Amino acid sequence: MPYLERKVEKLYYTIGEVAAMFDVKTSLIRFWEKEFDIIKPKKNKKGNRFFTKEDIENFHLIYHLVRDRGMTLKGVQMKLKDNREDVENNFEIVKTLQEVKKALLELKQQMDS
């Protein structure tokens, strides 16, 4: 039986890695960390931040509301405080629809060539 390599997922990501994922500066990540209590990275003795998968998902949710939907930071804070579950469900639906759109566009491109 051949060796099957499993996809290795990291437990912690540095602030630089998170910034690269979203194509933003590290200062934005630090700022949003202060503004939103749902982003809680672990810090070592030197003060280096280490973000978990949950932190990255929360950052992605905030990023979607601010950058894609055009909401203000105060608006996002109120929306997450009042109705976080609805916001998360809507965000998951949007992500799924984007993935379906991407797959359909790839299929169309393959059919055209």
In whole angstroms, what separates CA 65 from the centre of its chain? 11
Distance CA 57, CA 53 (A): 6
Q: Which residues of the chain have pLDDT under 50?
A: 1
Structure confidence by residue, pLDDT tens digits, 13-45? 999 999 998 899 999 999 999 999 888 999 999
The alpha carbons of the chain give a radius of gyration, in whole angstroms, of: 17
Helix (H) or strand (E) holding 75: helix 73-112
**Which domains are present in the chain?**
13-82 (1.10.1660.10)
Threshold 0.75, pTM exceeds: no
Q: Residue 28: what pLDDT?
A: 93
Q: Residue 4: what pLDDT?
A: 59
Which residues have a Cβ under 8 Å from the Cβ of 80 and sit 6 or more positions away?
Answer: 36, 38, 61, 62, 87
